[in-house]
Amino acid sequence: MKRKRKMGKGLDEKRVEQIIEILESEYPNAKTALHFTNPVELLVATVLSAQCTDERVNKVTQDLFRKYRSVEDYARVDLGELEEDIRPTGFFRNKAKAIKSFCNDLVEKFNGKIPGNLEDLVSLSGIGRKTANLVLGEVFGIPGIVVDTHVLRLSRLIGLTKNTDATKVEFDLMEVVPRDQWIRFSNLLILHGRAICIARRPKHGECKIVDLCDEGIRWKKEVGSNS
Ligand code: SF4
């Protein structure tokens, strides 16, 4: 999609620059915590990470990635066997089905290779823009904004979007985050969402970007007027 370029920097662009600078010093090693050595491993780990901690996923994939070396290995395996191999990550039946289905697609449509573009990635069964952007960014170095639950929540709280639909939020963020920071910005918000801006109990008082966040500014006013 072609997007109109705005002249000069707006308030949100400047705010985003400051947020990135502050969060970078808070989380200097911001990148996905999932362990992987190739694109199919990242796809599998991402599916397993739904409703499961990255630590647990990494524990399970240690053995899993030794056993399954290629897309074809997942496509060929008996569903029940794969379910058992990933059971500790929870929702293992749905996850095994999802893994087998996108691996079957990869074998049938792409000769077992992971495509390096968004359109083809989202054509795979069960792969949405979030996972596709993650793979493009982490594996192919192609910028994309990963809108997971943390990125969506924080972007709304900070005031960078009013939307609730992940794709619309992604496009809103693309307008204000510099393209070369798209991957980094998502990773920083994810880490901040886990450490400080926790769902339903954000620690505004410990937040280093409180003065750059609409919700934080509201909170400070409230605290000030009550003291
Ligand atoms: S100020 Fe509060 S709402 Fe805003 S990012 Fe920080 S913790 Fe989240």
- Joined together, the tokens standing for residue 17 give 């620059």
Is residue 207 in contact with ligand 1, taking CB distance under 6 Å? yes
Which of 152, 196, 206, 217 best tests ligand 1's pocket when mutated (most atoms within 8 Å of CB)?
Answer: 196
Is the Cβ–Cβ distance between 104 and 75 less than 8 Å?
yes
Give the Å distance between the CA of 151 and the centre of ligand 1: 12
* Burial zone of 30 (CB within 10 Å; 0-12 exposed, 13-18 middle, 19+ buried): buried
Is the Cβ–Cβ distance between 35 and 58 less than 8 Å?
yes
Any idea what the Cα angle at residue 119 is, between residues 113 and 124, rounded to 5°?
55
Complete domains list, the chain, with CATH? 11-30+145-226 (1.10.1670.10), 39-140 (1.10.340.30)
Is residue 202 in contact with ligand 1, taking CB distance under 6 Å? yes
Mean pLDDT, consecutive 10-residue stretches, the chain (227 aa), reads 52 93 93 90 94 94 97 97 98 96 96 95 93 92 93 97 96 95 93 95 97 96 81
Is the Cβ–Cβ distance between 117 and 153 less than 8 Å?
no
Q: How far apart are CA 9 and CA 11, in angstroms?
A: 7
Under the phi-then-psi rule, with left for phi > 0, alpha for psi from -120 to 50, and beta for the rest, what region is 91?
left
Q: Can you tell me which residue has the tokens 């053995």?
A: 63
Q: Tell me, what's the pLDDT at 178?
A: 94
* Burial zone of 141 (CB within 10 Å; 0-12 exposed, 13-18 middle, 19+ buried): exposed
Q: Which of 16, 69, 36 is nearest to 180 (CA)?
A: 16
197 Cβ contact list (under 8 Å, min separation 6): 150, 153, 154, 157, 203, 207
Is residue 204 in contact with ligand 1, taking CB distance under 6 Å? yes
Q: Tell me, what's the pLDDT at 197?
A: 98
Of all atoms in ligand 1, which is nearest to the CA of residue 158? 4
